[in-house]
Amino acid sequence: MGGNTTERARFDVCVVGAGFAGTVMAERAASMGLRVLVLERRDHIAGNAFDHRDEHGVLVHRYGPHIFHTNAPRVSDYLSRFTDWRPYEHRVLAEVDGQFVPMPINRTTVNRLYGLTFATDAEVQRFFDEVAEPCAAVATSRDAVVAKVGSELYELLFRGYTRKQWGLDPSQLDASVCARLPVRTSADDRYFTDAFQQMPAAGYTAMFERMLDHPLIEVRTGTAHAGESERGRVALLVWTGPIDEYFGRRLGALPYRSLRFRLETRATAPGVLLQPVGQINYPEAHLDYTRTTEFRHLTGEPGGHTTIAYEYPCADGDPYYPIPRPENRALYERYRALAAAQRGVVFVGRLARYQYLNMDQVVAQALHAARASFGSRDASRRRRGAPVAGGARVAGDGGVRVPGGGGARVAGDG
Ligand SMILES: Cc1cc2nc3c(=O)[nH]c(=O)nc-3n(C[C@H](O)[C@H](O)[C@H](O)COP(=O)(O)OP(=O)(O)OC[C@H]3O[C@@H](n4cnc5c(N)ncnc54)[C@H](O)[C@@H]3O)c2cc1C
């Protein structure tokens, strides 16, 4: 564990976890003159957004490809203090029956799969109206997809991918998993339509280094915090780890789906990329990986080597995706009730909320929690060492829309 609790009492705030949630909280606290200790279990900062150079010098994302996009100017404005940006619009193709088709489904997807030549939104809409199979009550993910695009497109593009991703058939998964699935009548093939789609120019880790580079912040990597049993005397504890871990999993473990990554690096002529777009999805059952991502599409780096990440969903490993089932949500709510009774602890971030959240949503949530905990410069100026708000909180979402239910990702999101 990271030093004894008496020694930690010289800090005003102890932040557990150096991902987006913890780093934003630490930076905001320090900006208000508070002394901050950041404890991170892994041997690096940046949480799951961590990137680094592999042995060939290619910038890769260790915990899966991370594409930044947001519609919240306050999030992009805030992060812009710590990084320059490089424009990048993510595109995804799915490989089915030996051909590549855009995801989300759009006009080109329909034309290619059915050998059609639709040229207008109205024609494609008529097609969807014909193939859709409305059901009275949309209860499962299968219902949600079939009600929009019918069972043939569901079988081709969603069923196999979802079964690999979750280890469950879509008919066993909450409808919320697919509820936000976009289906387009236009030929727009961008994966995201957010106003701001840019990647940190020097990478995520470099941005985090700048956020944590403050004389009032001390970062200790390779240091785990045990949660409630190690609460100690620090005025405010910010917990961004798994909420069940904080309580010693006394009500049982919250289940997650995990991923294994295999990275393959190949020599290429400078400027040459192997994939036509950043990400390819593989919905067919005979392959056990779900998607491949070629990092140089995302980073825009030149170079004589290129690295592709293959993703293999699995049951065990790092906690990546909360499994969106009602019983898991109910267990989370019981932990949330315990959290609400804690004094001087703020629970923020994807693991503390047991919810799939995009990076911008976590930043918004942390900015919101920081304002509630430390105030803002415009409000009463806080002196160094002054007490911080003491009540326990499970942070709100800071106004950035979060998906309903407990999770997301069907055919390629996040
Ligand atoms: C495969 C994958 C791809 C994704 N792609 C995207 C994307 O393209 N775009 C997007 O916007 N979002 C994406 N996301 C979501 C993104 O990863 C999260 O929004 C972000 O990581 C959330 O930050 P966080 O700080 O809440 O959690 P994390 O980044 O997980 O940080 C939490 C940190 O706390 C540490 N920790 C936990 N418990 C303890 C403890 N007891 N003691 C000390 N340290 C502890 C962990 O080691 C970790 O470093 C993706 C997620 C996954 C899984």
Name the residue ranges covered by the structural domains of the chain: 5-52+72-84+199-251+323-394, 104-179
pLDDT digit string (tens) for 223-242? 999 999 998 878 899 999 99
For the cut 80, the answer to whether the pLDDT of residue 402 exceeds it is no
Residue spans of beta strands (DSSP E) within 351-391: none
pLDDT higher than threshold 80 for residue 369: yes
Nearest residue (CA) to ligand 1, atom 35: 17
Residue to substitute in 246, 348, 359, 400 for testing ligand 1 pocket (most ligand atoms within 8 angstroms of CB): 359
Atom of ligand 1 nearest to the CA of 50: 29
Interatomic CA distance for residues 128 and 148, integer angstroms? 7
Would you say the CB of residue 317 lies under 6 angstroms from ligand 1?
no
Q: List, for residues 143-163, the tens digit of each pLDDT value.
A: 999 999 999 999 999 999 999
259 Cβ closer than 6 Å to some ligand 1 atom: yes
| Ligand 1 centroid – CA 241 distance (Å) | 9
Q: Is 298 in the pocket of ligand 1 (CB under 6 A)?
A: no
User: pTM for the full model?
Assistant: 0.92
Where is pLDDT greater, at 136 or 262?
A: 262
Among 34-38, 125-129, 138-142, 276-280, the range scoring the smallest mean pLDDT is 138-142
pLDDT of residue 383: 45
Distance CA 44, CA 46 (A): 7
Which atom of ligand 1 sits closest to the CA of residue 225? 42
* pLDDT reading at 390 higher than 70: no
What's the confidence (pLDDT) of residue 9? 72
pLDDT of residue 324: 83
CATH classification (class only), 5-52+72-84+199-251+323-394: alpha beta
| 257 CA → ligand 1 middle, Å | 14
Query: Residue 18 C-alpha to ligand 1 middle, in angstroms?
Result: 9
Whether ligand 1 lies within 6 angstroms of the CB of 141 is answered as no
Give the model confidence (pLDDT) of 38-47 as tens digits.
999 999 999 9
Cβ(20) – ligand 1 distance below 6 Å: yes
- Rounded to whole angstroms, the Cα distance separating 243 from 336 reads 8
Nearest of 71, 53, 18 to residue 193 by alpha carbon: 71
At residue 403, the pLDDT reads: 35
Q: Is 48 in the pocket of ligand 1 (CB under 6 A)?
A: yes
pLDDT for 411 beyond 80: no
Does any ligand 1 atom lie closer than 6 A to the CB of residue 79? no
Q: Which of 13-22, 116-125, 208-217, 320-329 has the lowest mean pLDDT?
A: 320-329
Protein residue with its CA nearest to atom 46 in ligand 1:
17
Q: How many residues can be counted in the chain? A: 414
Do the strands 51-53 and 59-61 form a parallel or antiparallel pair, or are they unpaired? antiparallel
Q: What is the pLDDT of residue 346?
A: 97
Q: Is 362 in the pocket of ligand 1 (CB under 6 A)?
A: yes
Q: How far is CA 33 from CA 11, 148, 195, 216, 368, in A?
A: 11, 52, 34, 7, 18
Per residue in 237-251, pLDDT tens? 999 999 999 999 999
From CA 407, how far away is CA 288, in angstroms rounded? 22
Q: Where are any strands of DSSP class E within 253-295?
A: 256-267, 279-281, 291-294
- From ligand 1's centre to the CA of 49, what distance in Å? 7
At 387, the pLDDT band (50, 70, 90 cuts) reads: very low
Question: Which of 20-29, 285-294, 323-332, 396-405 has the weakest average pLDDT?
Answer: 396-405
Q: Which amino acid, residue 311?
A: E
106 lines ligand 1 (CB under 6 A): no
* Across 77-81, 243-247, 384-388, least confident range: 384-388
- Which pLDDT score, from 0 to 100, does residue 179 have? 75
Q: For residue 205, give the amino acid letter.
A: T
Q: In terms of pLDDT, which residue wins out, 368 or 406?
A: 368
CA-based nearest residue to 22, from 46, 1, 4? 46
**Residue 410's pLDDT is what?**
41
pLDDT of 380 strictly over 80: no
Q: Is the pLDDT of residue 260 over 80?
A: yes
C-alpha–C-alpha distance, residues 109 and 93, integer Å: 9
Predicted local distance difference test score (pLDDT) of residue 201:
98
